[in-house]
Structure 1
Amino acid sequence: MRFIKRINTTAAVLMLVILSVSSCTTIKDAPSGVPFVYRNEVKIIDRNIAADERKTLQENLGNYWDDSLYANRVQKFLVFTVLDKPPVFDTANISASIAYMQGYLQAQSFYNSALKDSVRIDSSNKNLQKTFVRMNIKTGKPTIIDSFGYAFDNPDLKQLSELHRKESAIRRGKSRLTRTVLSTELDRLTGIYRNNGYYFLRKNNLIAEVDTADAALLELTLDPFEQAVKMAEVAARRKEQPTAKVLIKERKNEDSTLALQDERDFDVFKVGRINFFPETKFTDIPDSILLHTGRFTDVYTTPRRGNISIYQSLGKFHRRPILEHLYLTPGELYNDSMYFKTINNLSSIGAWQQVDARNVVRGDSVDFNFFMAPALQHNATVDVEASRNSGDYLFGSNLFGLALNLSFKNRNVWRRAIQATTALRAGVELNIANSNAPGGLLQTLQLGAGQSLVFPRFIVPFERIRAKNYNNVRTVLNLNASYTDRKDYFRLRSVTANWGYEWQHGRQAWLYRPLNIELYGLDTLRFLRTAFSENPYLTKAFNTGTVISQQVSWRYTFPNRRIPGTNFFRVGVEEAGALAGLIPAWRANIYRYLRLESEYIKHFDFRKTTLAMRGFAGVGYNYNRLDKFGKTLPFFKQFVAGGPNSMRGWNLRQLGLGSSLLSDTSSTFRDRYGDMQLEANLEYRFPMFNISSVKFNGAVFTDIGNVWNVHRQEELPNSEFSINRLGKDLAIALGTGLRVDFSYFLIRFDIGFKLKDPARLENNGWLDPWNFTWRNNEFPATINPLNERPMYRNNYALQLGIGLPF
């Protein structure tokens, strides 16, 4: 109860502050002495629709005021509002707004809505006569589709439609009659027809005929009183639940000049000849190439039927990657999906910078000519990275990181469109604030090298897989080596190699690595050995061994249903040592664990602002029974929190574990790694101002979460996850930030305050806003008797990031 009370009190204080400031509205360039539009409001007064839909309708209807009645309010710095150049109020403009709003409501299936305006003018100030315009709307009930079918003259179209009827999103008696529903159905049918040979057919060749008349009125009767009763009954039914009948038909074109084209629209075509020109230059003219195909000296034609040809002169590309990404078959019905799949997959390989097509109709066939402009085969890049661990801007102890990345890429290895990348990396971390600190100026040195090969197909040992239902199919081989020298703490050497497959299916993206091998060598130095004496649990996390694992990752992206925005969901699984650990000779030197993580990101994109939410959960379980590996994951596989993309009130690796204080009172090594992490983030983004083409945007955010161990450890009390202690262990940050958007990249500055810090001894971890200090008080020596130095924790953190955090 105390935890909930503290949240409610803090929230109430923040809400009062925000409300008191946000009530301020500045008026710029208002007309003097005449009524002007000060505020618009849309209010739906009936209650026959759900509360969330009513709220969405009111927000969207606010965008349909006529420009002459729209009060342009711009939000500045989240809480200040500016009314810029409000228009003069004129009652004649209300009718236009009513028409716009009725059109929108009809598009949302409300065909019986009633709109009534309400106007109030505040003339207390003769120079500023504020006009409040309100639109009261009674939407009525939405119109439901109670009958749905197809009425094609062409029997093949009707048969195809009925065959795929179950795929329709329209449900009789449930689906609303909206333009979006009808348009989606026409798009679906168009795709089906074009995938079955209808090359010329487009969406505008179809029409959805809607009939809202009641069938009872069509029954003839000579009794006028009986007819009146029927009409009354129909009116009552329509009021109770309006319905409509929908028929999908061919659009009849009355223009005789288009008769020939109309006939071709509903003709079926087959795939004819297919020609590839993989060495096309940007300056080449396709028509000229087709007229002079005899100039090519290297021509490959399929042996069975000469319907597929590849024209080259320099022989830069082997035929295999081209034919493996061809999904059209000569002689079969034209398939629109396979046509675009061919173009998209050839473009995604990387060997070609641009892929265009020129199609020619020949009788009842279509010939396809693909013009492929090669990308630059070799290129080298040099990147410089800079970062700053900015937890102590006010009190020193800053770490400045600098890294140099070199990469060399070959986009066409062995003429088979294989992508090869060689990368070199060198980085340092400097203590620029205090070169006399332990370790001196140079805190960390990192060297790395890597080689990757990306094959544009599945490579499996037993049989060939032609992934006709997948996109962007790849087989990836990675080899990497790195060396990290953290001065006077440790030296870490690693070599990793993995073999895996990547592919996409619709909105889903998969990564599977059946074999991942990681070799590590670790030297512990004097400061880390000192940390071992203060935090004995570290001796089990910092150990050496071999990882033999397999990894699976699944990503799914999909749009919101009502408010514009996107959703991103990711799940990752890594299993190590399950099979290799059964071999006695290997068992003593390999890690055995299961590691799971999932992430969900959701965006609501409003007219000028964005609400972004993120949730993350990860857990790892070490089931190796050897004491050498302890009960935790190796530290390079554990979870960490803090930094510019996580809990932004803390520096990187400076939050956790749970509510344990041992790491906070360590005199040397204060990094923390855990086997479990929970985190939730909420961020509201809004525009501020522009300088030339550079956009300055702002954000307010909150981060909630922590990291824990899975197993209880006596030497590290309160570090394990416990549902009973979750309220105490959760850390909460509040903050704001500035985003400088250069279009091609974005720089982010954030400041986060520790609203609730599990390591804060006073006030049950909560920040006292009335007695705010930049630092916590000194930890008592009883927490860690081995540390004789006074230790403090900051109540804030400054973060520098590139790109948005999520």
Structure 2
Amino acid sequence: MKRLFAKILLFFLTFVLIISCNAVKRLDADQNLLVKNEIFDNDELVKDSRIYSQLYQEPNTRILNFPLSLHVYNLARPNIDSILSERFLENERKKNKLIGLLSKKQFDRYLRSRVEFNEWLKRTGEAPVIVSEEETKKSVNRLKSWYWNNGWFNVEADYKIYPIEDKEKRARVEYYVTPNTPYVLDSINTDITSKALDSLYELHKSESEIKSGVQYNTLDFNEERDRLSDLFRNNGVYNFDQEYISFDADTVDTNYKLNTTLIIKNQRNNVGDSVTRVPFKVHKISKVNIFTDYAYSKRNEAIVDSAFHEGYSLYSFEKMRYKPESISDAIFVKSGNIYSDTDRTRTYNRLNALRVFKYPDIQYTLDPADSTETDLVTNIFLSPLPKYSLGFDFDVSQSNIQEFGIGFGGSFLIRNIFGGLENLEFSGRGSIASSTDAAGSNNDNRFFDITEVGADMKLSLPRIFLPVNTEKIIPKYMSPFTNMSLGFSTQRNIGLDKQTFSGILNYSWKPSRKLSNSFDLLNIQYVRNLNTENYFNVYRNSFEELNDIARTSNFNFNDPDNTPTLEIPNEADEFIGYVISDDFPNTGLNLDDFLNVLDIYERKLRLTENNLIFASSYTYLWNTRESLYDKEFSRFRFKIETAGNVLSALSGIFDYDQNEQGKDKVLGVAFSQYVKTELDFIKHWDLGKDQVFAVRSFGGIAIPYGNATNIPITKTFFAGGPNDNRAWQAYDLGPGSSGSILEFNEANMKLAFNAEYRFGLIENFKGALFVDVGNIWNVLDSNNNENFVFEGFSDLKELAVGSGFGLRYDFNFFILRFDIGFKTHDPARPEGDRWFKEYNFNHAVYNVGINYPF
């Protein structure tokens, strides 16, 4: 498979090399391919991409300095119809021969497929960008416009086209810009007809986006227009529009100073065929009517039920199903307040987040009882979603642990279960899979040897559920929720079967569109291992090492033949007990072998012990991404988690039992105690022309203390895999320079850095080049192996570096990803022999994933 891929890649590169000399073969003798644009500002080369984006013509897209899309386009024949006609239609002998061989219908289909393929090449590729005098002149005008909008009103610009002397039919264009002296804002005056608007402007004048002494910029005036519109519409002027705002500028004999006047006209009032202007007014909300079960078909029906709560009038066409206080708590438009766009937007967002109603409709009308025409009546129409809903999902997966897996699940949602907009959801999930390593002898050669089933129950409340009032800390505009959940899962496989019980009390709130917070007041997890006697059948590397040590010892095997083998599990456990007992000097082992057995024993304890985790955590997430289609955004996540502190504090009240290691036990299990923190930052830059540069940095550490000397397996870090360092399989990297000697490798500290350049190829195919850096280490826990432990900054030389390339296909709703990673710096190798060893396809790691890795 790897050799086949290498041959395909070699063939592709050879093909590219052959066609690379034909980039201009479709051009006429008097045409030139545009290969470069250069802009000079006062004879100095401009590097600002914003200025280059003003040009109408840009060179053909290049990938690693190669115009792939252009060559694809050139593969198409410009006169395919005449070629096919001459070759097949006008040649009667050849035509009849093909028809006799294929049939008339297949012959016509063949010709049509040739035309369609030719059109596909044109559509997929990119036509050569031919230097055009007309387009160049238009670029000059756009350049002048850009400089003008940035304050250079007397800008001059010109251009010159230079043929490339040593390359046929190619040319570059140079643009020459002389900006001259820029204009600076001087006086800022106002002409605001409505007194209400003038008063609001004066109150917030200091927040203006246009300031005296600053060079003119059209964007500043646009932002000031937006600011004023938001200001007025959030302070009662509900019918205000940006079209009423204009600016008048004076630059005559001002010595490059700009005197501007802000003009805001009165509101237009259309009465019949005549148009008059009336001053804007500040409007306040006089009534808020909420129709809780509105439907268009019910619009003429009589109201059956109603309620009044804190200034809100609630109406229902049937018996009301909602508690009035719950509905009113989701409404930010309030009687007695002035009109505000922000209140309306927050109401929309909160009602949508409840998952109880369809998209709401909010309407404002003048109150007929108010002669001043300043009072507004707010009508909010809510259309309920079905009280009950079912959901199903199905997926197919593959990983380094399982060759093939099928997952399935379902959910049952009950909306507004207690009448206070609460949602109760029951969900179940299951999976069957085929493992990559059939450990043990009792798998009966079954293909599906891994099964897992689980069930969860989640109750969501649209408020912070605490005995204290949190409104001042987390006001309702932050869309607070309380989530309570219980879960159970059981996993049966060829290895260590386990059961997991969990319970979570979570609070979440979003102060803004970009910022969200999540606080787990209590996150309880109990993991019970069911098949611990199968440990050495699963972790064969550990067993083989233990068995080799046993053969060099004085241990009495049950079957002492020439190559004795420890029986699993009893004899293997007996040998461990024999070595770590007080009789160690009599075992016949050296100190290194004793320490190795001790390490195997301690790891076995970790992987087979039951875990009880009482944790609390807080997550801060800042994300500027607005949709899946955003190409430029940043994301920052911080999480801190602590566990075991409450149980430890109660140890003075309750007399806990202790295990053999002297650790306190609750419910028969030694509880975990640790502090864990994670920092994760992602940044994407849009480079234009379907090119994106993305970086990620991650750092995490989990430190055990008190009742624990290590971290539960479920809370540790691993490295490698399709979303981490792609030159290593998941769990195959680290810790430190240990060389991945265990079946799967984990540790309690991790550093990871990734950089990826993404670019378009052909249609929905995308390409990528990437570099991944990172590793895991043990620190401040029970592991003392110097190859595993991070002892200082000098150990950063153990950071693994992987590099490679990838191919992706964009299905619009998800990305199918194929990446190839090469071990560029391998810390498992001896120092001085770590760079670019085994850097070839035979030792590469092939990753398949869904969506981008970060």
> Same fold, TM exceeding 0.5?
yes
Secondary structure of 2:508 counterpart: strand
User: Which amino acid counterpart does residue 403 of structure 1 have in structure 2?
Assistant: G
CA contact (8 A) 1:399 1:430 kept: yes
Matched, 1:350 2:355: yes
**In 2, Cα distance between equivalents of 1:185 and 1:741:** 39
Instruction: Quote the offset at 1:706 in angstroms.
Output: 0.9
**In 2, Cα distance between equivalents of 1:123 and 1:438:** 76
Q: TM-score, normalised by structure 1?
A: 0.78
Per the alignment, residue 105 of structure 2 pairs with none
Per the alignment, residue 424 of structure 2 pairs with 420
Instruction: Quote the offset at 1:583 in angstroms.
Output: 1.6
Deviations 1:602-653 (A, max 9, x none): 11122322211111111111122x4xx32x3111111112222111222222
Matched, 1:430 2:438: no
**In 2, Cα distance between equivalents of 1:446 and 1:398:** 13
Instruction: Quote the offset at 1:38 in angstroms.
Output: 2.1
Secondary structure of 1:681 counterpart: strand
**In 2, Cα distance between equivalents of 1:258 and 1:513:** 62
Matched, 1:643 2:721: yes
User: Which amino acid counterpart does residue 136 of structure 1 have in structure 2?
Assistant: Y
Per the alignment, residue 32 of structure 2 pairs with 36
CA spacing shift, 1:773–1:64, aligned 2, 3 Å? closer
Instruction: Quote the offset at 1:554 in angstroms.
Output: 0.9
**In 2, Cα distance between equivalents of 1:505 and 1:188:** 21
**In 1, Cα distance between equivalents of 2:791 and 2:276:** 70
Q: Which structure dedicates a bigger proportion of its chain to strand?
A: 1
Per the alignment, residue 580 of structure 1 pairs with 647
Let me know the Cα RMSD of the aligned residues: 3.6
**In 2, Cα distance between equivalents of 1:473 and 1:78:** 51
Secondary structure of 2:348 counterpart: helix
**In 1, Cα distance between equivalents of 2:766 and 2:841:** 28
Instruction: Quote the offset at 1:327 in angstroms.
Output: 0.8
**In 2, Cα distance between equivalents of 1:756 and 1:161:** 62
Deviations 1:699-746 (A, max 9, x none): 222211111111276653221224443443111111222222222232
Instruction: Quote the offset at 1:257 in angstroms.
Output: 7.9
Matched, 1:337 2:342: yes
Residue segments in structure 2 that go unaligned for 5+ positions in a row: 1-12, 71-125, 368-372, 547-595, 657-663
Per the alignment, residue 451 of structure 1 pairs with 457
Higher alpha-carbon deviation: 368-377 or 78-87: 78-87
Q: How does 1:243-642 map to 2 (within 5 A)?
A: 244-251=258-265, 263=277, 266-281=280-295, 284=296, 289=299, 292=300, 295-302=302-309, 308-362=313-367, 363-389=373-399, 399-431=403-435, 441=447, 444-463=450-469, 465=471, 468=475, 470-488=477-495, 490-506=496-512, 507-523=514-530, 524=532, 525-527=534-536, 531=542, 535-536=599-600, 538-539=603-604, 541-542=606-607, 543-558=609-624, 565-584=632-651, 585=654, 587-588=664-665, 589-605=670-686, 606-624=688-706, 626=707, 629-630=708-709, 632-642=710-720
**In 2, Cα distance between equivalents of 1:726 and 1:244:** 60
**Structure 1 residue aligned with 2:145, among 86, 97, 103?**
103
Per the alignment, residue 772 of structure 1 pairs with 840
CA contact (8 A) 1:35 1:131 kept: no
User: Which amino acid counterpart does residue 31 of structure 2 have in structure 1?
Assistant: P
Instruction: Quote the offset at 1:521 in angstroms.
Output: 2.2
Per the alignment, residue 741 of structure 2 pairs with 665
Secondary structure of 2:503 counterpart: strand
User: Which amino acid counterpart does residue 502 of structure 2 have in structure 1?
Assistant: T
Secondary structure of 1:603 counterpart: strand
**In 2, Cα distance between equivalents of 1:346 and 1:212:** 51
CA spacing shift, 1:336–1:772, aligned 2, 3 Å? closer
Secondary structure of 1:354 counterpart: coil
Instruction: Quote the offset at 1:437 in angstroms.
Output: 8.9
Deviations 1:173-229 (A, max 9, x none): 4x5532222222221221121111101112222224444567xx5xxxxxxxxxxxx
CA spacing shift, 1:610–1:167, aligned 2, 3 Å? same
CA contact (8 A) 1:36 1:86 kept: no
Higher alpha-carbon deviation: 643-652 or 432-441: 432-441
Higher alpha-carbon deviation: 511-520 or 701-710: 511-520
CA spacing shift, 1:773–1:336, aligned 2, 3 Å? closer
Q: How does 1:75-94 map to 2 (within 5 A)?
A: 75=62, 79-83=66-70, 84-86=126-128, 89-94=131-136
CA contact (8 A) 2:462 2:480 kept: yes
Secondary structure of 1:181 counterpart: helix
How many pairs align?
700
CA spacing shift, 1:732–1:246, aligned 2, 3 Å? farther
CA spacing shift, 1:505–1:262, aligned 2, 3 Å? farther
CA spacing shift, 1:721–1:540, aligned 2, 3 Å? farther
Q: TM-score, normalised by structure 2?
A: 0.74
Secondary structure of 1:352 counterpart: coil
**In 1, Cα distance between equivalents of 2:605 and 2:248:** 72
Per the alignment, residue 85 of structure 2 pairs with none
CA contact (8 A) 2:42 2:176 kept: no
Secondary structure of 2:787 counterpart: coil
Matched, 1:730 2:799: yes
User: Which amino acid counterpart does residue 798 of structure 2 have in structure 1?
Assistant: D
Identity percentage over the alignment?
A: 22
Secondary structure of 2:425 counterpart: strand
CA contact (8 A) 2:194 2:265 kept: no
Instruction: Quote the offset at 1:140 in angstroms.
Output: 5.4
Query: Which protein is bigger by CA-based radius of gyration?
Result: 2
CA spacing shift, 1:553–1:699, aligned 2, 3 Å? same
Q: Which has the higher contact order (CA 8 A, sep 6+)?
A: 1
**In 1, Cα distance between equivalents of 2:673 and 2:402:** 37
**In 1, Cα distance between equivalents of 2:390 and 2:788:** 47
**In 2, Cα distance between equivalents of 1:35 and 1:320:** 74
**In 1, Cα distance between equivalents of 2:140 and 2:778:** 61
Secondary structure of 2:162 counterpart: strand
Instruction: Quote the offset at 1:570 in angstroms.
Output: 0.9
**In 2, Cα distance between equivalents of 1:726 and 1:211:** 65
CA contact (8 A) 1:190 1:201 kept: yes
CA spacing shift, 1:797–1:555, aligned 2, 3 Å? same
User: Which amino acid counterpart does residue 235 of structure 2 have in structure 1?
Assistant: N
Higher alpha-carbon deviation: 569-578 or 740-749: 740-749
**Structure 2 residue aligned with 1:74, among 47, 58, 61?**
61
**In 1, Cα distance between equivalents of 2:175 and 2:19:** 22
Higher alpha-carbon deviation: 744-753 or 345-354: 744-753
